[in-house]
Amino acid sequence: MGRDILIKFVHTDELLSNKTGLLLIDEFWKKHRIGEMIDEKLGMPGSNRGIKSSIYIKSIVELLYCNGSHLEDIKKLESDRGYKKLTGTKKYPTSDALGDWLRRMGEKGCESKLWEVTHQLFKNVEEEETLDIDGTIIEADKGDGEMSYKGLTGYHPYIGLTIGNGICAGSKFRYGNASASGGLLDFIKECIKNLGKGVKIIRSDSAGYQSEIMNFCFDTNRYFTITADHDSAVMEAIRKIEKTQWIQGKNNGGDFENWMVAETIHTTNKSNLSFRLVVKRERNKNQISIFDSNEYRYWIIATNLPQEKYSANDIILFHQKRGELERLIGEIKHHYNLEHMPCGQFSANSMYFTIGLFAYNILRLMTLTSLDPYWKNKSIRTIRYKLFDLPSKIVKSSRYLIARIAAPLEYFECFVRCFNFIRFAPT
């Protein structure tokens, strides 16, 4: 064992930052005039001394990128003198000011205005045909949260995503005790409006198994794949499927699986339009005896996708891609710290949740348009580690600032390449 190294600690007033990589977001924000778009939609403050909405929103966006989980974490950004110098930020709003602003803007229903900004930003992104929708539970142990069907107190928002490019198309913040299917058609229409794109397929869990949603798709020349309820009419239709119609299922690689697939035609009591019921069945491993009627477990999908293009097996594999939706919602909740809400009022938390999704969309847009293809499917955790959390020393020159970044050469070169692309590429 060598001798212990003597360490001396001294205080320094040098300009340092451990968030240098957030300059990519700041540059992207300025390049696409996001602040101006926000202020145009949400309006300017009533006095010259008031803080613009764009500053409040950008502060929360940066807070979430820095892994902040409470409004008080804004102090981490306020204390980073080096990053403030690089971005020209004089002062961040306090946590109290952020909370007051969230309550004020939430009461005005400004979430829809922020979705209008999102629509403008994504109008040139490649069109995505499939819209996935689902609900999720957000915990809130204070304020006006309600008990959800999972026994947790909080909120039950809808989220809509296009899986191909990972864009969040919309959200509907709701109390925890809200019905899993209530107002879902209106939410789907909002998502389609927000995207402004040619959404052709609606994909949903059993909450979407509603005649009005299926009728809407028929009326607007759209398709759907929806997990069907195991109601008596559906199960009776399945029992009528001939044994010879069941075929062994295949995975995406073409290999046979241990499940069977078949289909039949069905309609609901509230519609005269018929659709396909595609059924996946597996032998029930928990069957008690040969006299047990529950011989199989069924997974049932209602769809109007054309049979000549999509076989029953194709429908199963297509609908199973909803697993990617669950992964993305998990990232939004847990990696953007949106699994808990910071305020005690529904309206404030609704605004905060919408800003969180806005932050998610801004990063998605940046990875789709301004970063190397390597970053397209990387999570926010990877981007934080390799791009955002770069320590540096800021040195003033007569003409410019120098950021001496202390990071592996690979990360440094990637950051510089991305920064230059954002700054100099045409909009």
Give the tens place of pLDDT for each residue, 84-112. Answer: 999 999 999 999 999 999 999 999 989 99
Q: Which residue reads 């001396």 in tokens? A: 8
Q: What is the pLDDT of residue 197?
A: 66
Whether 332 shows a pLDDT value over 80: the answer reads: yes
- Burial code (b: 16+ CB inside 10 Å, e: under 16) for 8-37 equals eeeeeeebbbbbbbbbbbbbbbeebebbeb
80 — pLDDT class (breaks 50, 70, 90): very high
Query: For residues 352 and 370, what is the distance between their CA atoms, to the nearest angstrom?
Result: 26
Q: What is the pLDDT of residue 2?
A: 58
Question: For residue 237, which of 302, 304, 308, 283 has the smallest C-alpha distance?
Answer: 302
Q: What is the pLDDT of residue 169?
A: 92
| pLDDT above 90: percentage of residues in the chain | 70
Query: For residues 370 and 426, what is the distance between their CA atoms, to the nearest angstrom?
Result: 10
State whether CATH 3.90.350.10 applies to domain 116-332: yes
Q: What is the pLDDT of residue 288?
A: 47
pTM of the model: 0.92
Q: Which strands, in side-by-side order, build the sheet including 153-155?
A: 138-139, 153-155, 146-147
The phi, psi pair for 170, rounded to 5°, reads 175, 165
Tokens of 210: 């509603």
Q: What is the pLDDT of residue 149?
A: 76
Q: What is the pLDDT of residue 195?
A: 83
Q: What is the pLDDT of residue 17?
A: 94
The residues pairing with 277 across neighbouring beta strands, listed in sequence order, are 264, 302
Q: What is the pLDDT of residue 128?
A: 75
Q: Contact, 385 vs 18, CB < 8 A? A: no
The phi, psi pair for 160, rounded to 5°, reads -120, 135
Q: Which residue reads 């928002």 in tokens? A: 157
CATH 3.90.350.10 domain residues, the chain: 116-332
Query: For residues 246 and 234, what is the distance between their CA atoms, to the nearest angstrom?
Result: 17
- 84-87 own/partner pairs: CB under 8 Å, 24+ apart: 85/15, 85/394, 85/401, 86/17, 86/20, 86/23, 86/26, 86/394, 86/401, 86/403, 87/23, 87/26
Work out the angle between the directed axes of helices 23-31 and 34-42 (0-180°, nearest 10): 60
Tokens of 82: 């080096």
Radius of gyration of the chain (CA): 25
Q: Taking residues 146-153, what's their average pLDDT?
A: 79
Whether 290 shows a pLDDT value over 70: the answer reads: no
Element spanning 34, H or E = helix 34-42
Whether 400 shows a pLDDT value over 90: the answer reads: no
Average confidence score pLDDT of the chain: 90
- Pairing label, strands 392-396, 15-17: antiparallel
Q: Contact, 176 vs 147, CB < 8 A? A: yes
Whether 287 shows a pLDDT value over 60: the answer reads: no
Q: Which residues contact 343 (CB under 8 A, 6 or more apart)?
A: 71, 99, 102, 103, 143, 349, 352
371 — pLDDT class (breaks 50, 70, 90): confident
- Pairing label, strands 146-147, 153-155: antiparallel
